[in-house]
Chains A and B, each alone.
Chain A
Amino acid sequence: DAGVIQSPRHEVTEMGQEVTLRCKPISGHDYLFWYRQTMMRGLELLIYFNNNVPIDDSGMPEDRFSAKMPNASFSTLKIQPSEPRDSAVYFCASSGGRGLGQPQHFGDGTRLSIL
């Protein structure tokens, strides 16, 4: 079975540009999570969805960040405008449930560099 698929794998762009990260969860998984990983702050939960509905976005750092899940097989994380401090690895993960002993399956991540 295909795992969580993220694109692009790498993104280098200039400050002020809009950045869109994409994620395709594992088929049948009804939870989708977006994480950001940096050396300083570790692995941070940004937002998660259940059945395409955002449940908790308290981890989204600023209004410049937004996430959508228009259907069960696709989600986007957008940063507009981007800033150098947004440079990080962004992971998407999906699971078949929460609080039910369901593991999270991570994508390979998007390494984002804002110049």
Chain B
Amino acid sequence: QQPVQSPQAVILREGEDAVINCSSSKALYSVHWYRQKHGEAPIFLMILLKGGEQKGHDKISASFNEKKQQSSLYLTASQLSYSGTYFCGTERDDMRFGAGTRLTVKP
């Protein structure tokens, strides 16, 4: 079953923060986060394993609440390069991707 992402789209000014959420109805092995720019392949950002961990990568971090089967991606002090569509991928018996969140960062 496909994970549910929210919001569907968000528009930011440079320097603003954003949170993207991903939830699943099933217990998960892991949650993956990817960013895809128009016309390009999805690029891996980070992966979170069950156990409720949190990870960071520069100004992008994520958390995974195993009890709720929810993950959140945090983008702080956004940059123009952050624009793109963000997908969460939930891994259990197979890999399912959410519908994506289109993030636009404006100057």
A residues neighboring B (CB under 8 Å): 33, 35, 42-45, 48, 56, 58-59, 91, 98-99, 101-109
B residues neighboring A (CB under 8 Å): 2, 29-30, 32, 40-44, 47, 49, 87, 89, 91, 93-100
- Complex A-B: 11 CB contacts under 8 Å: A35-B97, A42-B98, A43-B87, A43-B100, A45-B97, A56-B93, A58-B94, A99-B29, A104-B32, A104-B95, A108-B40
- Picked from B47, B93, B94, B96, the residue with its CB within 8 Å of the CB of A101 is B47
Cβ-defined contact, A103 with B47, below 8 A: yes
Cβ-defined contact, B91 with A109, below 8 A: no
- Picked from B49, B94, B98, the residue with its CB within 8 Å of the CB of A56 is B94
Interface of B is mostly: strand
By beta carbon, the residue of chain B nearest A43 is: B97
Most central of A44, A48, A58, A103 by chain B CB within 10 Å: A103
Contacts of A98 in B (CB 8 A): 29, 91, 95
Cβ-defined contact, B95 with A91, below 8 A: no
Contacts of A35 in B (CB 8 A): 97
Contacts of B95 in A (CB 8 A): 33, 45, 48, 98, 104
Cβ-defined contact, B97 with A42, below 8 A: yes
CA distance A102 to B93 in the complex (A): 15
Instruction: Given A108-B40, A108-B41, answer yes or no on A103-B94 (Cβ-Cβ < 8 Å).
Output: no
